[in-house]
Chains A and B, each alone.
Chain A
Amino acid sequence: MDENEIFELTGIVQQIAAGNFSARADISDRLDADDALRQGINMLAEEIERREKRLEEQVIELKRMNEVFVARELKMVEMKGEIDRLRKTVDDLQKRVDDQSSGTA
């Protein structure tokens, strides 16, 4: 690998390091040790890209699940309020019935 090729390959590594995981080194048809090094860098970048994508998908899924859970929690708070209101209504009605019963007696 001559100086120019090393410079070019270093540039690819720098791009990957900067977050451009789709950067790839060109593989020649010599299939020699230099190509092995280029291919190794490419495959590492592919793997980072694949894991990055999977993480993004997992974050989206977690956000969606969080929204579902929060919505359910809010619904439960709302239902608890409704239960408290209904319980109070029942208590009031019971009290009225008890008052009427004691008045009749």
Chain B
Amino acid sequence: MALLNKSTEEVWSFQTDQTIMWLGEDGILRYDYVPPYQDEKLEEAERVAAEVLKRTQGKRYPMLVNLVAVRSSTPEARAFHAGPETGKFVSACAVMVKTTLARVIGSFFLGLNRPSWPVKLFTDEDEAVAWLKDGAHKS
């Protein structure tokens, strides 16, 4: 149950019971879930977004999300992740789906929730980071 790589220094970070969130010096937000597994509900998604908004202060960042430790996510939580509050701090989103379960949850998010910013599923973290960094999602 691997967390995201710590290949870059943290600018800031915080952790809740369910979530680990940090901004790297490379300008990418990392959104991880605390192993071994999490059942995400709307309240947690809102709590994390409020904490992030305090730190990002209106600036939007590319974000890397790791779904490997997510066992379930309610429709309300997924809708929130694709909604205007999240859009205040996210410019593009690469979703790590290294397991079959993560791929299912990620596919539902991509297909049904359809956020207004670019979203893509990845199984390789380096490719995901490269996609977020090189701005390919902007074209």
Contact = CB atoms under 8 A, between A and B. Distances in A.
B44 to A, nearest CB: 17
A29 B37 contact: yes
Interface string B22-59: 00000000000000110000000000000000000000
Given A27-B71, A47-B75, A47-B112, A35 B101 contact: yes
Contact of A32 (B69, B100, B108): B100
Given A31-B99, A47-B112, A40 B71 contact: no
Contacts of A36: 99-101, 103-104
A76 to B, nearest CB: 41
B4 interface: no
Contacts, number: 40
Contact of B104 (A29, A39, A50): A39
B72 interface: yes
Interface string A26-38: 0101011101100
A41 B64 CA distance: 26
Interface string A46-74: 11001000000000000000000000000
Interface in B69-117: 69, 71-72, 74-75, 99-101, 103-105, 108, 112
7 contacts: A27-B72, A31-B69, A33-B101, A39-B101, A46-B74, A47-B75, A47-B112
Interface of A: 27, 29, 31-33, 35-36, 39-40, 42-43, 46-47, 50
